[in-house]
């Protein structure tokens, strides 16, 4: 997208654009997101083991994690797809800092969650 269209493939921005449509700029975003969902569903059918990675969480935990990721993406003015994939490849200083922050916070949360899970047993 960046090479041919000059646009950043930031998924959170695309989803926001579908939820808050702008005239003439919504259809391609909806198709892009639909393609991501369809690709995931197809992979689930063709290779069901691709989604098994040994971490099992309740639907409530997954839903709250999704909400927190969405909030963080809005707070950072972009998500990992926009900052890490597109921004880092352009050597954007802002994206480098955002990506380092994403990774550090993710590692911290996984460490805390693992500790809590061990203590709770």
pLDDT tens, position by position, 71-120: 877 777 777 777 888 888 889 898 899 889 888 988 998 899 889 988 98
Any idea what DSSP says for residue 31? H
Q: Residues 28, 34: contact at Cβ < 8 Å?
A: no
Please give the pLDDT value at position 98. Answer: 86
Q: Which two tokens stand for residue 46?
A: 């063709």
Q: Residues 24, 30: contact at Cβ < 8 Å?
A: no
Confidence of residue 69 (pLDDT cuts 50, 70, 90): confident
In tens, the pLDDT along 4-62 reads: 888 877 888 888 889 888 888 888 889 999 999 999 999 999 998 888 777 777 888 88
Provide the sign of the torsion angle of the four alpha carbons 108, 74, 40, 83, taken in this order. Answer: negative
Cα angle vertex 51, ends 48, 32, to 5°?
95
Confidence of residue 65 (pLDDT cuts 50, 70, 90): confident
First-last CA distance in the chain: 47
In the numeric block, the tokens 């880092």 are attached to 88
CA dist 120 → 35, 60, 113 (Å): 40, 18, 10
Please give the pLDDT value at position 111. Answer: 92
Please give the pLDDT value at position 41. Answer: 94
Please give the pLDDT value at position 45. Answer: 94
Task: Name the 3-class secondary structure at 121.
Answer: coil
Segment 65-72 shows an average pLDDT of 82
């Amino acid at each position: 997208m960046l090479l041919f269209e000059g646009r950043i493939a930031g998924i959170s921005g695309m989803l926001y654009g579908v939820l808050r449509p702008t005239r003439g700029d919504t259809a391609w975003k909806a198709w892009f997101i639909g393609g991501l969902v369809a690709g995931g569903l197809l992979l689930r059918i063709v290779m069901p083991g691709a989604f098994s990675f040994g971490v099992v969480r309740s639907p409530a935990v997954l839903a709250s994690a999704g909400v927190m990721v969405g909030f963080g993406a809005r707070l950072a003015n972009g998500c990992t797809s926009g900052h890490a994939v597109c921004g880092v490849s352009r050597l954007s200083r802002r994206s480098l800092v955002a990506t380092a922050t994403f990774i550090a916070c993710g590692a911290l949360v996984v460490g805390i969650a693992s500790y809590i899970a061990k203590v709770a047993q």
